[in-house]
Structure 1
Amino acid sequence: MISALSRGISRFVPRRADYSALPRSWRRDVLAGLTVGVVALPLALAFGISSGVGAAAGLITAIVAGLVAAVFGGSHVQVSGPTGAMAVVLAPIVAQHGVGSIALVTVLAGVIVVVAGIAGLGRAVTFIPWPVIEGFTLGIAAIIFLQQVPAAFGVTAEAGQRTLPAAYGVVAQVVGNGDWSSAAKTVGVVAFVALVMIRLPRLHPGIPASLIAVIAATLLVTAFGLSLATIGELPSQLPGPVLPEVDLGALRTLVGAAVAIAALSAIESLLSARVAATMSPTGPYDPDRELLGQGLASVASGVFGGMPATGAIARTAVNVRAGALTRVSAIVHSLVLLAVVYLATGPVSAIPLSALAGVLMVTSFRMISAATVRQIIRSTRSDALTFVVTATVTVCFDLIEAVEIGIVVAAVFAIRSVARRSSVVREELPGPHRPGDERIALLRLDGAMFFAAAERISAAIVDAEHPHVAVVIIRMSQLGMLDATGAHTLSEITRQLEARGITVIIKGVQPEHRDLLANVGVFDSLRHHNHLMDTLDEAIAHARSHVAA
């Protein structure tokens, strides 16, 4: 028992094998870490601001959470930090409970994710259908874009207002007033940043376009003396760790928010790690260890004054494309951002908010794959509807509810499809016809007999249009799925037929169905225990003996 417990714990502990490729890959890892750090800087600042927690919190999260997740996580190339999806979830929490609540929510959510990892829930993400994932991503991209509309027009949105009405209100206000004097400046900065980010990668894909666009926009704003809102003062050193104060009253109100954040953190991190595993030659990832690492990362981030962290798909993709093979690249990425805190907070604080808004707007478009959207829309009507419903609920209501509703919609369509493929087929008896064979009904159950198909199958078996039938043989060798409802229905069918004087013979019960049928009482409902057969020839011979009698 002790050895089993030891093996279980060792799964989650960092080990030397995590860095086995380092002797031959350290140069590539360091270079990849530098590249990701440069790319992550404007995104960390932007997501911190858009969440309402602040640019400093975004930067701290990228440093602390990125380092902890790199060491303890289950992926060799995952890069963690603040993300757009998390910023979307945090914004209403900040508006409702204040910035002071974020530290407690972050630690709570981290603890929940740690428990999920230890409990082995990492594989649960495989149950989320592809249309739900893509619909969720599309919804997140739309929200990120809409969140930046106020900053793009140089207007402050009303706190606590939903994203879509807030964006519409800002546009209506600017257009209605017709005062473009201030809005033109911020819109111009956004357009400049977007143009640089779109054009530069065409020259060379390795160019950190977002960072260059932000630097160029900041220099232009300073050179022309434009008075625009900027990031403002940032800490010149990493703050010390402080445990958040626990107020029982506040704790009760924040538990729901922490659960939602934990769910999002787990889903996004596992999806990102799964994508990274398909892109990188480093092999598979450990989903349970990944949850543990992400949970510890959020706990550490909350203690240092940051926000919840998740695996970041965009930064992870940059890391893989830059040649990363070990966790050293993600560690270097955090060290690069740490150097910015100690050496470059002055220049960073002068970055215009509209420049970061431009970065996020372009990023939101890059999150959407037009080819993927076309593939889903053209696949099946049920998958297309699941995709549209998930995206719509994400934008208009709530992110976690969107995933839940999307899974439910997909499950309903999947159950409906399986139920439609389930059927009862009446077969002819093999071999030459014998007198009395017309009084034997040979019925084959195909597909699945479960709660969604049981009643329809029952109606097909209990066929009142053939009153001359004396024996019914039910073939179950082709039955793929059976649940308690299906077994109970089969028991009721047998009792009904036997009550009408019709002998029921069950043939070909599969081993995995035998215990369920016995426990529900199907075998007890047969007239005789010999009416449970293994072969078709045996079942037909016994049925003919009944007819002859």
Structure 2
Amino acid sequence: MKGTGRFQRVHVQTLRHDLTAGLVVGVVAIPLAMAFAIASGVKPQYGIYSTIIAGFLISLLGGSRFQIGGPTGAFIPVLLGIVIQFGYEKLLIAGMLAGLILVLMGVFKLGVLIQYIPRPVTIGFTSGIAVIIFSGQISNFLGLRGLQSHESFWDNMKEIGMHLYAVNLYSILTALLSLAVILILPRFLPKIPASLIGLLVSSLMASLFFGGKVATIGSTFGAIPSSLPSLTLPTITIDNILELLPAALVIAMLGGIESLLSAVVADGMTGTRHNSNRELIGQGIANLITPLFGGIPATGAIARTATNIKNGAVSPVSGMVHGLVVLLVLLLLAPWASLIPLASMAPILMVVAWNMSERRDFAHVLKTRTSDSLVLVITFLLTVFTNLTTAVEAGLGLAVILFVKRMSDNLVVTKVLPDSHGHDCPQIHIYTIEGPLFFGTAHRFEKSIMDTIPLHPRILLLRMGKMPFMDSTGESNLASIVNHFNKSGGTVLISDIQPQPREYLKKTGLSERIGESQFFEHTGEAISAALERLDQPKCRACKHLAYRECTALSSCSPKPLDTKPVPSLPANH
């Protein structure tokens, strides 16, 4: 779709569907926005600001017709770590840097690269994030007060253990009621936002029966303002940028992954196609602007996007309406939001964590007991016990190493015997190369050939019909073989070479050094050329008779070689 293509279905008849979907998803987003903000270590209103501004801009500027943007659970460990280590203002700077990175990724059309992140890595860190989110809500569920937040999972668990003596029964009852509604209501009324009803019912009960005995948003964070904050530019310095760039890269990566996954889910539900690079640009602009109003990083939210579609959304207007609905609630009902108990919100995040844990995929990959299982477990453990940056770097690094190892095992260099009885020609050595010739296989390729040639043959024929790819390291090792044979008076012939290696050899100049006349489309033609270049005196003394043509040159029959020999490689070669 071009230009305003995402809005091409907008007309009077569709507005009713978009308004309805936007209203529902806006109501769903409100408790999530506050819960994600609190879990990230900031005040709940910052999650609301993010939902309003980023939610509106992502729908307006993104590449998916149905995407709903806002704070998500994936960001929680990263944002909490930034807040603990650097403070809230630097979180805003990190969010802006992440927005800039996303815009650049979209401009340079790098959206496709996110698709190449291995599945075990994404499952590993997603499951790890789910554990962190779930464990982070235990204290609010139990009503524990006075806990200090730490970056370390173990330190947070120790902190909870040290305060278990102060368990608040009223908080537990409030949380259990909220959890019961969230779990049971969808079975009977699937279209009703269960998280919101659970929040309202448990808040009402706590207000009526446990007044002053359960910590609320107001008692913990102060009253929620009933207006958007004024536009403020954070203080940005070179030192801040360098300090926060690693965290910003992780935010951008997570935001890119989740937004594009959400867009793919939307495509599958609606039969449409999103523009991945435009989606990244829209996400980036939203994250550049949202921090100016105090909002935390946002991305496409899969559950809210699915809710949007299920409620009849037709165009991005529904996502824009969702942002306006949240703004209206902020303006009219902010004082009431301050009365919500933290224990009412804890089950919402626990259910979010459970749903995002990808437990079935985790178990499936684990059961394979392959290198993917190792990548999964290491990424998961590092996410939980160190930090997401380390986990992603280590997971990707290990996945690359294991991939290179697997690809290296796929390279097969086979010596071809022209005679079915095992006779070989001392002057012509033929090798078949199967698999990619790159930095992980290049040394073994060269060694396989050089180590299996006891004497210097006159002709080395390399059959490359099953070698799909070559990089600079592979080219360098091939050049080493060519140089070796040229110095010893031999010749290298190449047959059946595929397009990518052929073009690469032209670019590096190695094809010119080999000689354009030494490249053949078919192996039979290469053998014919090789037979014409043999040292005939050596052939007369040879008893191998590897080719049919050898009879004409043997001591028994000193006739000259036929100028049109017929190669006699076995059919399987």
Considering the TM-score relative to the shorter chain, is it more than 0.5? yes
Secondary structure of 1:480's match? coil
Secondary structure of 1:101's match? helix
8 Å Cα contact 1:158/1:166 also seen in 2 = no
Where does 1:302-451 land on structure 2 (aligned, <5 Å)?
302-379=291-368, 381-429=370-418, 437=425, 439-451=427-439
Where does 1:474-513 land on structure 2 (aligned, <5 Å)?
474-500=462-488, 502-513=490-501
- Alpha-carbon distance between aligned partners in 2 of 1:94 and 1:148, rounded to the nearest angstrom: 17
Identity of aligned residues (%): 35
Flag the 1:501–1:116 CA change in 2: closer, same or farther, 3 A: closer
Which residue number corresponds to residue 520 of structure 2? 533
8 Å Cα contact 1:132/1:390 also seen in 2 = yes
Which range is displaced more, 441-450 or 462-471?
A: 462-471
Post-superposition Cα deviations, 1:351-404, rounded to whole Å, max 9, x if no partner, equal 101111111011100112333223322346122222222222222222233223
Which residue number corresponds to residue 228 of structure 2? 238
- Alpha-carbon distance between aligned partners in 2 of 1:133 and 1:288, rounded to the nearest angstrom: 20
Post-superposition Cα deviations, 1:499-542, rounded to whole Å, max 9, x if no partner, equal 4555432223334323432455644665x764333322222123
- The one-letter code of the counterpart of 2:310 is R
- Alpha-carbon distance between aligned partners in 1 of 2:428 and 2:260, rounded to the nearest angstrom: 55
Which residue number corresponds to residue 97 of structure 1? 86
8 Å Cα contact 1:437/1:544 also seen in 2 = no
- Alpha-carbon distance between aligned partners in 1 of 2:236 and 2:428, rounded to the nearest angstrom: 74
- Alpha-carbon distance between aligned partners in 2 of 1:253 and 1:473, rounded to the nearest angstrom: 55
Which residue number corresponds to residue 7 of structure 1? none
- The one-letter code of the counterpart of 2:412 is S
Flag the 1:369–1:514 CA change in 2: closer, same or farther, 3 A: closer
Flag the 1:374–1:22 CA change in 2: closer, same or farther, 3 A: farther
The count of corresponding residues between Structure 1 and Structure 2 is: 531
Secondary structure of 1:120's match? coil
Superposition deviation, residue 446 in structure 1: 0.7
Q: CA RMSD in A?
A: 2.7
Superposition deviation, residue 492 in structure 1: 1.3
- The one-letter code of the counterpart of 1:271 is L
- Alpha-carbon distance between aligned partners in 2 of 1:407 and 1:276, rounded to the nearest angstrom: 27
- Alpha-carbon distance between aligned partners in 2 of 1:269 and 1:22, rounded to the nearest angstrom: 27
- Alpha-carbon distance between aligned partners in 1 of 2:308 and 2:356, rounded to the nearest angstrom: 16
- Alpha-carbon distance between aligned partners in 2 of 1:405 and 1:23, rounded to the nearest angstrom: 52
Flag the 1:464–1:252 CA change in 2: closer, same or farther, 3 A: closer
Secondary structure of 1:407's match? helix
Which range is displaced more, 394-403 or 140-149?
A: 394-403
1:261 aligns with 2:251: yes
Which residue number corresponds to residue 5 of structure 1? none
Which residue number corresponds to residue 471 of structure 1? 459
Which range is displaced more, 317-326 or 444-453?
A: 317-326
8 Å Cα contact 1:462/1:497 also seen in 2 = no
Where does 1:175-324 land on structure 2 (aligned, <5 Å)?
175=164, 178-180=165-167, 182=168, 184-226=169-211, 227-232=213-218, 233-246=223-236, 250=240, 252-281=242-271, 283-324=272-313
Flag the 1:311–1:157 CA change in 2: closer, same or farther, 3 A: farther
8 Å Cα contact 2:80/2:151 also seen in 1 = no
- Alpha-carbon distance between aligned partners in 2 of 1:298 and 1:436, rounded to the nearest angstrom: 68
Structure 2: runs of 5+ lacking an equivalent: 537-573
Bigger radius of gyration among the two: 2
- Alpha-carbon distance between aligned partners in 2 of 1:520 and 1:117, rounded to the nearest angstrom: 32
Where does 1:515-530 land on structure 2 (aligned, <5 Å)?
515-518=503-506, 520=508, 522-523=510-511, 526=514, 530=517
- Alpha-carbon distance between aligned partners in 1 of 2:33 and 2:155, rounded to the nearest angstrom: 23
Superposition deviation, residue 260 in structure 1: 3.5
Which residue number corresponds to residue 125 of structure 1? 114
Which residue number corresponds to residue 567 of structure 2? none
Flag the 1:100–1:490 CA change in 2: closer, same or farther, 3 A: closer
- Alpha-carbon distance between aligned partners in 1 of 2:116 and 2:51, rounded to the nearest angstrom: 29
Post-superposition Cα deviations, 1:248-287, rounded to whole Å, max 9, x if no partner, equal 6555544444344333323322232223222223x11112
8 Å Cα contact 1:56/1:234 also seen in 2 = yes
- Alpha-carbon distance between aligned partners in 1 of 2:264 and 2:114, rounded to the nearest angstrom: 10
Superposition deviation, residue 134 in structure 1: 1.6
8 Å Cα contact 2:114/2:257 also seen in 1 = yes
- The one-letter code of the counterpart of 1:317 is A
Which range is displaced more, 504-513 or 124-133?
A: 504-513
Superposition deviation, residue 481 in structure 1: 1.1
Flag the 1:470–1:334 CA change in 2: closer, same or farther, 3 A: same
Which range is displaced more, 310-319 or 506-515?
A: 506-515
Superposition deviation, residue 417 in structure 1: 1.5
- Alpha-carbon distance between aligned partners in 1 of 2:526 and 2:367, rounded to the nearest angstrom: 47
Post-superposition Cα deviations, 1:195-229, rounded to whole Å, max 9, x if no partner, equal 22111111132121111111111111112134111
Which range is displaced more, 260-269 or 354-363?
A: 260-269
Which residue number corresponds to residue 3 of structure 1? none
8 Å Cα contact 1:150/1:167 also seen in 2 = no
- Alpha-carbon distance between aligned partners in 2 of 1:315 and 1:252, rounded to the nearest angstrom: 34
- The one-letter code of the counterpart of 1:262 is A
Post-superposition Cα deviations, 1:474-493, rounded to whole Å, max 9, x if no partner, equal 11122111111111111212
Query: TM-score of the superposition, structure 1-length normalised?
Result: 0.89
- Alpha-carbon distance between aligned partners in 1 of 2:282 and 2:174, rounded to the nearest angstrom: 38
8 Å Cα contact 1:107/1:302 also seen in 2 = yes
8 Å Cα contact 1:19/1:327 also seen in 2 = no
- Alpha-carbon distance between aligned partners in 2 of 1:209 and 1:200, rounded to the nearest angstrom: 6
Structure 1: runs of 5+ lacking an equivalent: 1-9
